[in-house]
Amino acid sequence: MTAHTLLRSANTAMVVFLTLFLIVAYLAWGMEAQLPLMLIAVLHFLQILLAGLFKISYVIRLIAQNQLGQPLR
């Protein structure tokens, strides 16, 4: 996998995980009165999981930027 492909994949993954996190957060915190308790518990777990996956995607992005010689942000 080339560094350009890795960078593009990491950027896409960050957008996907952020979008999913926002949806899950809305369901867990904004719709909690309408959802069963077990689903709320799963949604809270998913928030932790998605945040971790977002962070891993960011680290992969940094690796790809380093391979391309770009400044790390």
Structure confidence at residue 14 as a pLDDT band (50, 70, 90): very high
Q: What total number of domains does the chain contain?
A: 1
Q: Is residue 59 assigned to a domain?
A: yes
Q: Three-state DSSP class for 69? A: coil
Supply the range of the domain harboring residue 26.
3-68
Q: Is residue 51 assigned to a domain?
A: yes
Q: Is residue 26 assigned to a domain?
A: yes
**Predicted confidence (pLDDT) at residue 73 exceeds the cutoff of 90:** no
The whole-number average pLDDT for the span 55-68 is 96
Calculate helix-pair angle for 3-30, 37-68, nearest 10 degrees: 160
Higher pLDDT, 22 or 72: 22
Give the model's pLDDT for residue 72: 85
- Token pair for residue 37? 């308790």
Give the model's pLDDT for residue 1: 79
Enter the pTM of the model.
0.90
Q: Is residue 73 assigned to a domain?
A: no
